[in-house]
Chains A and B, each alone.
Chain A
Amino acid sequence: MTSTETAADGPAPQRPLPSLADPDTAAFWRATGEHRLTYQEGEDGRVVFFPRRHGGGRVRDSAGLGEVYTYTVVRRHGHPFFRAHAPYVVALVDMDEGFRLMAEVDADPADVHIGQRVRVGWEDHEVGSERLAIPVFTPAG
């Protein structure tokens, strides 16, 4: 292997980041740069997630609290970042505002359970001149 990603003395492999080229989801990801977790409330009051242009209504900020709907512990992965990162917990989280998102839960896998209260936290990244953050939940106690 000659790739710098896998060379022992090369830079540590990076988490693949979302694209900011898609205009619907780019708005969500730009908001994460300000540590805002956003969802959309349509004209009829229905919650739309992820926010999208034709969804109508307005984009709102979540208070960042929810509960684990389901989860898994990823123990094997082909990507160098995730291979080094494993084992890690990925969950579907039901937020108190009524939307569900996929996110990592930073906790000992043995301590995670369905129904667990969790709170959003942020892993900051820079993409060119822009900032975004990956939501990472922790147990809310």
Chain B
Amino acid sequence: MAPRAAAIVGIHEHPSRRVDGLSPWQIKGESAAAALADAGLTFADVDAVYDAGETGPMAGIAVPEYFGISPRLVDTTGVGGSSYEFHAAHAMRDIAAGKASVALLTYGSTAKSESRSIGTGGPRPVAAPAPGTNMEAAFGMPLIANYALVAQRHMHQYGTTPEQLAEIAVTTRAHAVRNPEAVAALTALGIRKTSEITVDDVLGSRMIADPLHLLECCLVSDGGGAVVIASAEVARDCATAPVWLLGAGEAVGYPGNDRDITTSAAVLSGPPAFAEAGLRPEDVDIAMIYDSFTITVLTLLEDLGFAKKGEGGPFVEGGRLRWDRPGAPALNTDGGGLSSNHPGMRGIFLLIEAARQLRGESTSQVDGARTAVAHGNGGLLGTRHAAATVILGRD
């Protein structure tokens, strides 16, 4: 078994998906205070700050200033939605090395209030595009279309069906319906149907970028949250049961002349994480898998070894990944980005719901859940993306 050097001891998910007047900074600050209170700690205990820079440049200075703390370690890894799994991995490493004892991860976004188009793409001026981006900007590829490239190829290569992809949205909605905050979110965001959905509902919703339909896309919400990760020594005196970080891995992927785009960088980040944790995919009770779109989940489940490559379709069929079905991990039990919360970078919520499950606090609580995976995918699944896998376990 992996050494238990660092644990999640405090969590907070900002409850509102329409924040009306709050700034991202305020969401971060409020969430940080609540997560520290959850742990029985204060800002004065924090000695390491991890930040994805979503509030703007120089976050490594501005965020500690705003919190009024003096960290001895600052990490501003910003790789989109997966940033928080990278941060957890780095906090685990830094705490094990004795460089930090209380790490604070925060996120705040007003994507909905700003009417930012995340999935279908809006004008988003880029001052100086990276060379790779400059090769593609002329082709009008909104974010969802990039993921659709993967889905189309996956269907061609393995016979994956639209019905199988839809199952992922159906399962996630079933979990959202059990989570009052997710139901409130669906209502606040103007989603017409807030009850469970069927495969037919998904396939009957508008096609956005073939073969992906509207109900296969994440929500666009406001929101944020915070996670506190502490050393074993600090965790011992915290108010909550520790959720140990058992293993982590990270990787990036980008376009290549012979790259199989049905395989993501998760195939590189997963194995070292499982090896470090001394666990296998079949040992995992809770799968918190980044669900920007249905194809993201299908691809990542395969890449992480839950199903063989190409067999993700049959793996998710028949509601197998619902919280109350034994024999397979429970998927995104908070309702996911598809049906609960996606302000642009969802990674922090994967850690938060994994911790809830291992503390016995989920609204779709899996009996006796002992281990969880949080896998973040940031950027664009079909071209350039970042992947980080974190394995968590309880005492």
A, B assembled together: yes
> Which A residues are within 8 Å of any B CB, using their own CB?
15-19, 21-22, 24-25, 28-29, 47, 49-50, 52, 69-79, 81-82, 85, 88, 90, 92, 94, 98-104, 109, 114, 134
A121: min CB distance to chain B, Å: 14
Contact: B149 with A92, CB < 8 Å? yes
A133: min CB distance to chain B, Å: 10
Residues of A within 8 A of B140 (CB): 15-16, 74, 77, 79, 81-82, 85, 88, 90, 104
A1: min CB distance to chain B, Å: 13
If the complex has contacts A52-B131, A98-B257, A102-B136, are A78 and B149 also in contact, measured as CB distance less than 8 A? no
Q: List 10 A-B contacts (CB under 8 A).
A: A24-B131, A50-B131, A70-B156, A74-B142, A76-B120, A78-B120, A82-B140, A103-B139, A114-B153, A114-B156
Contact: B131 with A78, CB < 8 Å? no
Binding-face segment, B206-214, B245-253, B309-317, B325-333: B206-214
Contact: B123 with A74, CB < 8 Å? no
Residues of B within 8 A of A100 (CB): 255-259
Contact: A78 with B122, CB < 8 Å? yes
Contact: A25 with B209, CB < 8 Å? no
Contact: B156 with A18, CB < 8 Å? no
* Closest B residue to A20 using CB positions: B134
Majority secondary structure, B binding face: loop
The interface centre, meaning the residue of B142, B255, B383 with most chain A CB atoms within 10 A of its CB, is B142
Contact: A22 with B149, CB < 8 Å? no
- In the complex, the number of residue pairs spanning A and B with C-beta atoms less than 8 Å apart equals 121
Interface residues of B in 207-262 (CB under 8 A from A): 207-212, 255-259, 261
If the complex has contacts A69-B153, A70-B152, A114-B153, are A25 and B255 also in contact, measured as CB distance less than 8 A? no
Interface residues of B in 108-150 (CB under 8 A from A): 117, 120-123, 128-129, 131-132, 134-142, 145, 148-150
Residues of B within 8 A of A50 (CB): 131-132, 135
The docked-state distance in angstroms from the alpha carbon of A88 to that of B156 is 20
Pick from A21, A72, A103: contact of B148, CB below 8 A: A72
Pick from A17, A69, A72: contact of B210, CB below 8 A: A72
Contact: B141 with A102, CB < 8 Å? yes
* Closest A residue to B122 using CB positions: A78
Q: A-B pairs with the 4 shortest C-beta distances?
A: A78-B122, A72-B148, A82-B140, A70-B153
The docked-state distance in angstroms from the alpha carbon of A102 to that of B208 is 19
B218: min CB distance to chain A, Å: 15
> Which B residues are within 8 Å of any A CB, using their own CB?
117, 120-123, 128-129, 131-132, 134-142, 145, 148-150, 152-153, 156, 206-212, 255-259, 261, 382-383
Contact: A114 with B257, CB < 8 Å? no
Majority secondary structure, A binding face: mixed
Residues of B within 8 A of A71 (CB): 149, 152
The docked-state distance in angstroms from the alpha carbon of A78 to that of B255 is 25
Residues of B within 8 A of A52 (CB): 131
The interface centre, meaning the residue of A22, A90, A109 with most chain B CB atoms within 10 A of its CB, is A90
The docked-state distance in angstroms from the alpha carbon of A19 to that of B133 is 10
Contact: A102 with B135, CB < 8 Å? yes
The docked-state distance in angstroms from the alpha carbon of A81 to that of B138 is 11
* Closest B residue to A100 using CB positions: B257
The docked-state distance in angstroms from the alpha carbon of A69 to that of B258 is 10
Contact: B121 with A77, CB < 8 Å? yes
B85: min CB distance to chain A, Å: 27
Contact: A90 with B208, CB < 8 Å? no
B190: min CB distance to chain A, Å: 17
The docked-state distance in angstroms from the alpha carbon of A28 to that of B212 is 32
The interface centre, meaning the residue of A70, A99, A101 with most chain B CB atoms within 10 A of its CB, is A70
The docked-state distance in angstroms from the alpha carbon of A88 to that of B29 is 44
B233: min CB distance to chain A, Å: 47
Contact: A22 with B123, CB < 8 Å? no
B358: min CB distance to chain A, Å: 38
Contact: A18 with B142, CB < 8 Å? no
Contact: A70 with B135, CB < 8 Å? no
Pick from B123, B209, B257, B261: contact of A76, CB below 8 A: B209
The docked-state distance in angstroms from the alpha carbon of A88 to that of B210 is 10
If the complex has contacts A70-B149, A74-B140, A76-B120, are A19 and B208 also in contact, measured as CB distance less than 8 A? no
Residues of A within 8 A of B122 (CB): 78-79
* Closest A residue to B120 using CB positions: A76
* Closest B residue to A19 using CB positions: B134
* Closest B residue to A101 using CB positions: B135
If the complex has contacts A76-B209, A77-B121, A100-B255, are A18 and B138 also in contact, measured as CB distance less than 8 A? yes
The docked-state distance in angstroms from the alpha carbon of A111 to that of B121 is 26
A98: min CB distance to chain B, Å: 6
B247: min CB distance to chain A, Å: 33
B133: min CB distance to chain A, Å: 9
Residues of A within 8 A of B128 (CB): 19, 21-22
Contact: B141 with A79, CB < 8 Å? no
Pick from B117, B141, B255: contact of A74, CB below 8 A: B141
B125: min CB distance to chain A, Å: 10
